Amino acid sequence: MRRSCVVIASLLIAGIACGPAAALSKVQVPGLQVALYRYGLYKGQIDGVAGPMTKQAVVQFQRKSGLEPDGVAGKRTRAALGRFGRPLYGTRTIARGNFGLDVSVLQFLLARRGFAPPRLTSFYGGTTEQLVRKFQRKAGLEVDGVVGPATRRALLGKAPAATARTTSPSARHLVRPGETLSGIADRHGTTVAALARRNRLDPQGVLPAGIRLVVPAGGSSSPSTRSSVKDSLSRWAAHYGVDPNLARALAWQESGFQSHVRSGVGAVGVMQVTPATWSFVEMFVIGHRVPRTTDGNVRVGVAYLSHLLREFRGRERLAIGAYYQGPAGVRSRGLFEETKHFVANVLALRGRV
């Protein structure tokens, strides 16, 4: 996983409209990213920011499709993406049963507003409809579960920043891209519940970058007793159907079971998970946010390993190689020599740690 590119970006829509978004308004970018993910080419955050990883994925898709690799998601490129590349958000009224790029954008916007669906499915089913109705009710709109012009405008409006009471002396924290309430709470020695309550936030909602949080004064972390790393690995391996010996071998090779390890590309913890991979696993594998704790790190890493084993049809060498090198690189170029050594070390450690 160390070779994976790290993309830490705001969950806000207001990204830079450049590169692959040049042919699209910036609101369409998360839908494009989901489409490219479906083809196994985009592995970064679904963040609505048209950055280098998005452009690279567009170029790769264009080459595979026999199109000019200009990195611009124009009409021909979107047509080649099939049902994932159309229609654009805002070109139709979205209702239950619809599928496409605009539904992907809708689900992303709902998440930004604090109504995150379990996964970005590109399909407007019952779960998404319930979230739309909740949003409409909160926004004072007609609650019909249909995404027409009024609902679209409300979703694209400026998300309200959290307001904070200032009745007691407190520290302040500027939320940076990629941060979570749990990580901020751990850093400041408080709890997620206290932090959310102090700032009137939904602890399960999306935390926008750029807002300032008031950190409760005199807070204490009082964390619950955590399992040992080995116990955590065994528990999540059983949960996701992964051989626990393989999970422990991978963790030992990555970090030696140490939770404080950080690599040069930003991979952290026992399983050496990058921010982009953590976001991907939350969005597409697990379906909800995972606390930035040692146990959470183990869970994300094991869940990602399980995902890779399914993606490579149980071929362990390729799955382990993809964990280190990235699945797109393994599919397109095979295992690098450095990756082969990593895989050999993991398999040699199996059953010994």
Q: How far apart are CA 29 and CA 165, in angstroms?
A: 36
Which residues have C-beta within 8 Å of that of residue 38, sequence separation ≥ 6? 84, 122
Which CATH entry fits the domain spanning 229-349: 1.10.530.10, 3.40.50.720, 1.10.443.10, 1.20.1440.230?
A: 1.10.530.10
Q: Which residues of the chain have pLDDT under 70?
A: 1-23, 44-45, 118, 158-170, 175-183, 185-192, 202-211, 217-227, 264
Q: How far apart are CA 209 and CA 321, in angstroms?
A: 33
The residues spanned by each domain of the chain are: 1-86, 88-159, 172-215, 229-349
The pLDDT of residue 128 is 93
Query: Whose CA is closest to 254, among 178, 352, 343?
Result: 343
Tell me the per-residue pLDDT of 127-146, one tens digit each, with 9 for 90 and over. 999 999 999 999 999 999 99
Write the DSSP assignment of 199-218 as a string of letters: HT--TTS---TT-EEEEPTT
Rounded to two decimals, what is the model's pTM?
0.48
Q: Report phi then psi at 284, rounded to 5.
A: -115, -20
Beta carbons of 42 and 85 less than 8 angstroms apart: no
Helix (H, G, I), strand (E, B) or coil at 292: coil
The pLDDT of residue 247 is 96
Out of 129, 179, 254, 282, which one is annotated catalytic?
254
Q: Which fold has domain 172-215?
A: Membrane-bound Lytic Murein Transglycosylase D; Chain A (3.10.350)
1-86 is classed in which CATH architecture?
Answer: Orthogonal Bundle (1.10)
**215 beta partners:** 171
Residue 254 known to be catalytic: yes
